[in-house]
């Protein structure tokens, strides 16, 4: 084993670390050389969104020491900003193991630095933290969560004063300060309990009132209030807000999956608490069939992502993907606001580079700009910050089951999204249609788009190297043909260039640098490769489109596009 790893590990055996940590490190040194390597071969990177990693002892793990170091770095950055008056940070946490411990530790470190803290008195969703930052006039915010990662993970997300996750220049500034903090002796001691303020139900009420303003057709909800809705908490934080919001809107026939109501970081009833995966909705689908549900809602542990299932024309409950829900919501928001004369003259929507281009087409139809950003809602929130006062944000989403409506919250929000998806179902029912039929009508009007995602898990040090090699291969050996179709354009967001393979001409992407590469094919297909920023995965996105003459063509169009997607998957992932 590398002597450097042994040396780093041995430092964790001294008195600066608690007894349990010292024992755990000694066990790795004596019994588990591979585990020791993974725990100490590098420092857990504080990236542009914060920390995320497996929990345990070590420099490459989530623990109270890596959390303390990160928080001290954040405190140093805040104090260096020359802020006049008080400095304050809002903190929330999800259901994961140690989330409350990490949140409390962060609060102690901040208070030891003279920074006020607003700390939730129990677990709350990510969107509530985003709202809290602005509600309490804070300088920053911290959310302890690893979203929908497996149970062994936890994370630490940092927000700035606008309630959005950090972007340049703050991200780089905070990262620089965090890297300077290398041990417990550099972390401020002696926390001040008097400046740690517990957050109670007053925040919940203010948040619910703010997102309630986004509702459009509460009259339809009132008439369809008995529409059966199934909700599953997937052991997360949504139980604190989603049922309450649906009731506030007027829905009265809500069925909650009882076996998944209780927050539990072990996620005992699912393989993964990810509403993108069908397995996670098994219990909800079963209950949905029993109660003849009009819509099924599932949220991830920190309640920023939402997945749904609705009855299809065959009466089966069909899961919709993130692109489908995002486009339905965009269509509904723009179409109904326009009909109600409530669409602002300066309205706009947002999507990301891996989201369906149907978002752009819908926005264009209504004469509304669709600003395309890098993946991640921090970039959508950055657009909101830059356009505040001159243009009005209506909604925005990305394919990974996230959507944001209005600007009270500056991150994806499964609470308001769940409510508005149920409102769409009620509105469609008023028209004698199902949610599914409303979606198909949208495809007839704007074109049929179909997307797919393949994720390859590559864990640990070797996995990270393999992902780098895959991306380097695409850049250094660009394919000229994929699944029988010529590659005509390559967009490399790392170099910031769009390259036409026919003419050799290049132009800038106009988007900040990111390790993403896209291939545009002659048949209109688009394929994207992107390493995940939060999980040990590389993701491949496939996007195709066609036109529909009528709703009766939908099934055949889906079959044809799915066949083509299968060909692209084989060529791109396995070829």
Q: Which of 103, 162, 95 is nearest to 131 (CA)?
A: 162
CA 547 – CA 51 distance, rounded (Å): 43
Residues near 321 by beta carbon (within 8 Å), at least 6 away in sequence: 276, 399, 401, 451
Six token digits for residue 103: 């949140």
Q: Which helix (H) or strand (E) holds 349?
A: strand 347-352
Give Cα 392 to chain centroid, integer Å: 22
Q: How many CA atoms lie within 13 A of 444 on its CB side?
A: 13
Is 540 within 8 Å of 568 (Cβ atoms)?
no
Distance CA 71, CA 18 (A): 19
CA distances from 316 to 58, 72, 297, 307, 392 (A): 48, 52, 16, 16, 39
Question: Which residue numbers are catalytic?
Answer: 147
Q: Which two tokens stand for residue 394?
A: 């209506």
Rounded Cα distance, 412 and 379, in Å: 11
Kind plus residue range of the DSSP H or E element containing 464? helix 460-476
52: tokens are: 């995320």
């Amino acid at each position: 084993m590398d002597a450097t790893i042994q040396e780093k590990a041995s430092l964790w055996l001294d008195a600066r670390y608690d007894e349990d940590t010292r024992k755990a490190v000694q066990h790795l040194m004596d019994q588990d050389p591979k585990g020791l390597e993974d725990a100490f071969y590098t420092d857990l990177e504080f990236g542009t969104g914060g920390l995320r990693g497996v929990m345990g002892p070590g420099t490459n793990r989530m623990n109270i020491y890596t959390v303390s170091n990160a928080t001290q770095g954040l405190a140093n950055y805040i104090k260096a900003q020359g802020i006049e008056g008080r400095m304050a940070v809002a903190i929330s946490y999800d259901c994961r193991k140690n989330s409350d411990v990490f949140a409390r530790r962060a609060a102690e470190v901040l208070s030891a630095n003279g920074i006020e803290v607003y700390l939730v008195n129990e677990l709350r969703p990510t969107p509530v933290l985003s709202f809290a930052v602005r509600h309490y006039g804070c300088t920053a915010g911290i959310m302890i969560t690893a979203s929908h990662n497996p149970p062994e993970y936890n994370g630490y997300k940092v927000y700035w004063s606008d309630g959005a996750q950090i972007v340049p220049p703050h991200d780089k500034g905070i990262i620089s300060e965090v890297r300077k903090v290398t041990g417990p002796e550099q972390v401020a001691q002696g926390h001040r309990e008097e400046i740690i303020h517990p957050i109670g139900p007053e925040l919940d009420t203010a948040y619910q009132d703010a997102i309630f303003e986004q509702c459009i057709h509460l009259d339809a909800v009132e008439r369809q209030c008995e529409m059966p809705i199934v909700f599953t908490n997937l052991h997360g934080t949504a139980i604190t807000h989603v049922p309450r919001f649906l009731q506030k809107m007027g829905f009265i026939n809500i069925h909650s999956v009882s076996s998944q109501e209780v927050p539990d970081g072990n996620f005992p009833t699912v393989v993964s608490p990810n509403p993108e995966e069908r397995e996670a909705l098994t219990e909800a689908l079963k209950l949905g069939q029993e109660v003849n549900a009009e819509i099924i809602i599932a949220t991830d542990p920190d309640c920023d992502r939402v997945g749904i299932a609705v009855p299809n024309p065959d009466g089966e409950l069909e899961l919709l993907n993130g692109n489908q829900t995002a486009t339905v919501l965009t269509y509904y928001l723009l179409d109904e606001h326009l009909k109600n004369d409530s669409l602002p003259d300066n309205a706009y929507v947002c999507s990301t580079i891996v989201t369906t281009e149907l978002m752009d087409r819908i926005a264009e139809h209504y004469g509304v700009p669709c600003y395309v950003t890098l993946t991640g809602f921090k970039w959508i929130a950055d657009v909101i910050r830059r356009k505040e006062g001159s243009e009005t944000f209506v909604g925005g989403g990305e394919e990974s089951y996230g959507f944001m409506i209005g600007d009270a919250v500056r991150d994806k929000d499964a609470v308001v999204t769940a409510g508005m998806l149920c409102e769409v179902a009620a509105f469609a029912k008023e028209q004698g249609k199902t949610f599914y039929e409303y979606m198909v009508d949208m495809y007839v009007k704007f074109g049929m788009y179909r997307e797919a995602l393949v994720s390859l898990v590559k864990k640990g040090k070797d996995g990270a190297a393999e992902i780098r090699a895959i991306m380097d291969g695409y850049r250094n050996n660009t394919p000229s043909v994929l699944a029988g179709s010529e590659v005509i354009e390559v967009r490399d967001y790392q170099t910031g260039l769009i390259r036409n393979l026919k003419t050799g001409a290049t132009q800038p992407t106009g988007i900040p640098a990111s390790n993403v590469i896209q291939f545009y094919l002659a048949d209109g297909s688009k394929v994207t490769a992107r390493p995940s920023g939060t999980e040990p995965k590389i993701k491949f996105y496939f996007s195709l489109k066609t036109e529909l003459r009528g709703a009766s063509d939908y099934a055949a169009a889906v079959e044809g596009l799915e066949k083509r997607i299968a060909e692209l998957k084989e060529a791109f992932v396995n070829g």
